[in-house]
A and B are shown apart, each in its own frame.
Chain A
Amino acid sequence: MNTNKNNGNTARNNRRGAIDYASRRAFLKAFGAGTVLSPFIPLLDAQAQAAPLRLIVITGHNGWGEASKWYPSGGGTSFTMGSTCNSLEPYKKDIIFFKDFEGRYQSDEAGVHPMASANLLTGSPATRPAGGTIYERQDATRATSISIDQHVAKITGKSTRHESMIMGCGAEPFSAGVHIGGSVSYRGASDPIIAEADIFLVFDRFFAGAANTMVPPSGAVNVRAGDERSILDAVSKNLEWMKGRVGTEDLRRLGAHLEGIRSIEKRLPPLGQDDGMPVPVSGCAAPTIPAKSGTFNTRQAARFLPAIVHAQIDIMLAAMACDLTRVGLVQIGVTTGLWPPSFMGLTNTLHDISHNFNADMSRFTQRTLQEGFGYLLKRLNEVKDGADPMMKNVAAFWTNEFGDGDAHQGSPMPIIAAGQAGGKWKTGRYVVFNGKRKHTDFLLSVGKLFDPNLSKFGSDPSAGPVAELAG
């Protein structure tokens, strides 16, 4: 098979300069592989680099319901899942079930929900303003440091088109806008990421993308040639100008905006060239997601949670197969939570359920584990990195800001790890700790997979990484 002469893209390729032929992914990304390329992909596969390690986080909220239904029976490598986690039974070989971690928050004050949720992945205490009533203060609750997914994303994002994919299903309670007192992913202190609820927007961003609109219809003059660059140039100049004219607190926001501009620039063709970089479509196919028509509503978690979460996981794994990103998060529900899970016949709101209907809270946790983490594990066994299931090269975990949500207890804090983390995690075990282990130690262990020099994560003192992950 002739690899370099049988397609019209060669000239474009050469014009772009160096391509790392050792990496199929880098090749596809830079080249914009169309169907015409598919015949020689197997050749590249043979010399493909080892699949990269990815981080996947799924969060549940408001606690696990009844403790008696939560824990497995048995121990070590021989255990049976509790009824709340029964959907994970077929994937026991892929998980490490921990009993338990110590989280930071206890039932010590009103409005502790968003404080706990801001702490969950950052490992630092949260802050909130003094003014207003508890209603306003909860909205304005913020974490004080970066979350683990974003810490990792800043590292892995150097090699991928997108740093991370942060999605939420029912993570925004219905309201005039988004109340983000419930965010779990933070780019830094007081810098929450709003989890994207719209699966169509995420799909477009990763698989249709703004880049495609830069490709002119064949034969037509591209009236947009060079536009993005000159616009971004003007925008950058203005941002720099403003930076000298605002207070220190505002600088952070301008800096983040500039970062966004840079990430768009990174994907643009060199100045003066009018062809954008199409998204790879071969070898790593775009996922199939629900149709936009009909009654399906991507923002209505109350009715459509299973379909939304499945689509989010499918999009995430497809993007990871294409190496468009290596960090993904799906927030299922939200702390407090003012919507009712009607899709499973429950009519009270999440918050009510967590405080007043413990058996329903178990049912809700069971169902969301099944549709979320369970579905993820199923797909990680099906999606391949070359010959291996993707499971091998993933570090995934499920967690929740509370164990006993009714009592606002952050301890015990549930964490279920999954995936072989490129060989570093030994799965198929039920680990019961002797003594207490802080959940920040687990965050540290996750961080170290991507950032070996990391010695502490969050603000609490650390006992070091969780050795039990390695067996």
Chain B
Amino acid sequence: MVKMLRNHGSFSRSALALMVSFSACSGASTGGENTPGDLPGDEDPDVPVETAGCKTNATFVRSPMRRLTAVEFDYAAADLFGEAGATGVELLPSDEITAGYANNSVITLQPNQVEKFQSAARRIAEGTVTRVDKLVPCSGDKEKCALDFIDRVGRRAMRRPLETEESDLFAKMYRDKAKATDHAQGIRLIVETMLQYPSFMYRPIVGVETAKDGVRKLTKWELAGRLSFFLWNSVPDDELMESAEAGKLETPSGIREQTERMMQDDRFDRSLKAFSVQWFDVGAIAPDKNPADFPNFNQEVWGSMRDGLAQFFAHAVRNGGDMTTLMTGPFAFANKKTATIYGVPAKSDTLELFDTNPAQRGGLMTQAGVMAALGNTEVSRPIKRGLFVRNRLLCQDPPPPPPEGVPPFEAAGDNLTVREMLEAHRADPTCASCHTFFDPPGLAFSHFDGVGQYHEMEKGKKVDASGTLIDTDVDGDFTNAIEFMNMLKDSSLVAACVSTQIFRFAIGRLEEDGDKCAQEATVKQFADSQQSLPGLFTSIATSDSFRFTGSETP
């Protein structure tokens, strides 16, 4: 296992390349058109893999059609028509989070939301008028260039070749417009239409029948789309489309080849960010903090914290990190706005990589954005943090609340620390059943205040972050967050949960019984690769749940 390579300030692409080929099974021949490779499923790519020892009576459920999220729409517009950020994401309909992730949304578009996409499309399209020569380079016949543009860009935008009728319709629209006005306006109209085109905005997964009843295999085009939105949060590039067309995405090995290529592209950072901020529920809007307690906290500081979290995760994956990196890596990305919070000498506005004090701070949980999102307005917030650890790191449900309702907190004296208040609460046996479950994983972070700054003292007393973790595979005592996270890094529950979270993001729905075997296989591959994070992305992309779908939801 190659340990994470520290590469201050920038990602190491070569390290990633090394890791992904290393994490893939040894001696793998990656590539080759339909050449059976070394992955399960390569031999008979048209039916799901029979995993030894795994049995489920359930079959795959059908994956609901997804609409592009606001961020995906923005990235896709940039990739297809240039000019990143032209959309104005804040003007698009808000993304609804379902099952933890925005791309799981099943919400329908309301009329006012259709209008929002309409205005976004118009804004982006009008921006192309003055740079049409760059967007559609053309030395000869302008109409011919325009028609080429329609087919070439249309294929990537819709993740399939345009139907003849569609191609003809776009061509007619271009011609009529160009005739009435000019070439640039003709292109503008095409751009504006494509951005509102349902085949662009929605990602249906229908698949084709397989030899196995109730199991359908994704078409090559659907797979290309699923892959690009999973890894890039955007539409495919020409190479991915060509690879689909050549039938290379039919086998797990073929998918792996593209996955590894795409993970070395800058666009992978987008997905790493989208996934990590949603996994940790670190939203775009700053949580409210009491200015009397945190006078320097504002939206800009929050933005730096949020980006810092995303970069932590990206750095871990890009550099072949593992669970140890995720859970305990003693580093952070900080700039001058967050320097004090992290206690590092950051001087510029740009986020840079710093070592953090390994006795105080390490891993994703202790990133300022996470601690602040899970922090109260004033004090640290153990219950919220504890529930978060249970839900999002361990994928565990809390026990049901007592039937008579939740008893109120005892009147808190001003001098009580949060720990003391909770201890009083846990003394009530009705409360203890739940609170012994989720208080300790939260109290472990007692050193971190509402904006994620580390403190030795709270209300004049030395902070006590000790506790006992129960109901996991790594139960035991700890005295602080570092010890606690060092326990979690060895938990197979946490490793499986990380895999589940990426699964939900990749497939766009919650896991169901039919995914059991595919999920178990992924978790096993993760363990076998010594928990290589880039390897985990590849495993999920080549898994049966990614390649197959069901007929209808049971």
A25–B151 CA distance with the chains assembled, in angstroms: 47
The 0/1 profile, CB within 8 Å of A marked 1, for residues 101-123 of chain B is 01000111111111110110010
CB neighbours (8 Å) of A205 from chain B are 112, 115
Contacts of B362 in A (CB 8 A): none
Interfacial chain A residues near B197, Cβ < 8 Å: 234-235, 238
Q: How far is the CA of A241 from the CA of B378 in the complex (A)?
A: 55
List chain A residues, Cβ under 8 A from B2. Answer: none
For residue B358, give the distance in angstroms from its CB to the closest CB of chain A: 29
Q: Are B102 and A176 in contact (CB under 8 A)?
A: yes
Proximity string of chain B (401-417) to chain A, C-beta cutoff 8 Å, 1 when within and 0 when not: 10111101100000000
A109 and B400 within 8 A (CB): yes
- The CA-CA distance from A162 to B97 in the complex, in Å, is 26
Of the residues A133, A176, A242, A257, contact of B108 by C-beta under 8 Å: A257
Q: How far is the CA of A35 from the CA of B398 in the complex (A)?
A: 63
Distance of A357 Cα from B408 Cα, bound (Å): 7
Count of CB-CB pairs between chains A and B under 8 Å: 220
The verdict on A175 contacting B281 (CB below 8 Å), with A107-B403, A136-B100, A257-B109 known, is: yes
CB-nearest residue of chain B to A166: B110
Q: Is A22 an interface residue (CB 8 A)?
A: no
User: Which B residues lie within 8 Å of A257 (CB)?
Assistant: 108-109, 114, 198
- The stretch of B245-253, B332-340, B389-397, B528-536 that contacts the partner chain: B389-397
- What residues on A are CB-neighbors of B472 within 8 Å? none
B543-554: CB near A (< 8 Å → 1, else 0) gives 000000000110
Chain A contacts for B231, CB-based, 8 A: none
Check if A356 is an interface residue, CB within 8 A of chain B: yes
- From the candidates A227, A235, A264, A340, name the one contacting B198 in the complex (CB within 8 A): A235
Chain A nearest CB: distance from B222 CB in Å?
11
B511 in the interface (beta carbon within 8 A) = yes
Q: Mark A29-54, 1 if CB is under 8 A from B, else 0.
A: 00000000000000000000000000
Q: What's the least CB distance linking A376 to chain B, in Å?
A: 22
Given known contacts A193-B110, A260-B114, A264-B114, A227 and B192 CB-to-CB distance under 8 angstroms: yes
Segment among B48-56, B234-242, B282-290, B457-465 that sits at the interface with chain A: B282-290
Stretch with Cβ within 8 A of B (4 or more), from A10-18, A92-100, A243-251, A419-427: A243-251
Pick the interface stretch among A74-82, A177-185, A444-452, A453-461: A177-185
**Which applies to chain B's interface (DSSP): helix, strand, loop or mixed?**
loop
Given A179-B97, A303-B288, is A231 in contact with B193 using a C-beta cutoff of 8 Å?
Answer: yes
The reply to whether the CB of A296 lies closer than 8 angstroms to some CB of chain B is no
Residues of A208-245 at the interface with B, using a CB-CB cut-off of 8 Å, are 210, 213, 221, 223, 225, 227, 230-231, 234-235, 237-239, 241-242, 245
Binding stretch for chain A, among B18-26, B29-37, B199-207: B199-207
Q: List A contacts of B169 (CB < 8 A).
A: 234, 237
Interfacial chain A residues near B176, Cβ < 8 Å: 230
- Bound state CA distance, A253 and B398, in angstroms? 34
Write out, one digit per residue, whether chain A residues 398-409 have a CB within 8 A of any chain B CB (1) or not (0): 000000001110
A256 to B397, CA, bound (A): 35
Q: Check if B98 is an interface residue, CB within 8 A of chain A.
A: yes
Contact residues in A for B390 (Cβ distance below 8 Å): 133
Does B185 lie within 8 Å of A223, measured CB to CB?
yes
Q: Let me know if B136 is at the binding interface, CB within 8 A.
A: no
Please tell me if the beta carbons of B94 and A172 are within 8 angstroms of each other in the complex: yes
Identify which of B108, B112, B286 contacts A187 (C-beta below 8 A). Answer: B108
B189 is an interface residue with CB less than 8 A from chain A: yes
Asked if B468 is at the interface of the complex by the 8 Å CB criterion, the answer is no
Does residue B173 face the partner (Cβ distance < 8 Å to A)?
yes
Q: Could you tell me the distance between the alpha carbons of A407 and B69 in the complex, rounded to whole angstroms?
A: 37
Contacts of B163 in A (CB 8 A): 241
B510 touches A407 (CB 8 A): no
Partner of A174, one of B192, B283, B392, B408: B283
Contact code string A109-151 (vs B, CB < 8 Å = 1, else 0): 1100000000000000000010111111001100000000000
- Which chain A residue shows the least CB distance to B97? A177
Interfacial chain A residues near B395, Cβ < 8 Å: 133
A70 in contact (CB, < 8 A): no
**Cβ contact of B281, chosen from A176, A187, A303, cutoff 8 A:** A176
CA of A407 to CA of B390, assembled, Å: 24
Cβ of B181 within 8 Å of any chain A Cβ, yes or no, is yes
List residues 342-376 of chain B with CB under 8 A from any CB of chain A.
Answer: 373, 376
Within 8 A of A (CB), among B400-443: 400-401, 403-406, 408-409
- Measured in the bound complex, the distance between the Cα atoms of B302 and A174 in whole Å is 12
Picked from A238, A250, A253, A347, the residue with its CB within 8 Å of the CB of B199 is A238
A201 in contact (CB, < 8 A): yes
Considering the chains assembled together, what is the distance between the CA atoms of A239 and B290 in angstroms? 49
The contact sample of 17 A-B pairs, CB cut-off 8 A, is A131-B510, A135-B100, A135-B392, A136-B99, A180-B96, A191-B108, A193-B110, A223-B181, A230-B176, A231-B193, A242-B204, A249-B62, A254-B202, A264-B115, A303-B288, A340-B376, A357-B408
List chain A positions with a Cβ less than 8 A from chain B: 107, 109-110, 129, 131-136, 139-140, 162-163, 172, 174-180, 187, 190-194, 196-197, 201, 205, 210, 213, 221, 223, 225, 227, 230-231, 234-235, 237-239, 241-242, 245-250, 252-254, 256-257, 259-261, 263-264, 299-300, 302-303, 339-340, 342, 347-349, 355-358, 406-408
Known: A178-B94, A241-B163. 12 other contacts (CB 8 A): A110-B398, A129-B99, A134-B391, A136-B100, A140-B98, A172-B94, A177-B95, A178-B95, A231-B192, A254-B202, A256-B110, A264-B115
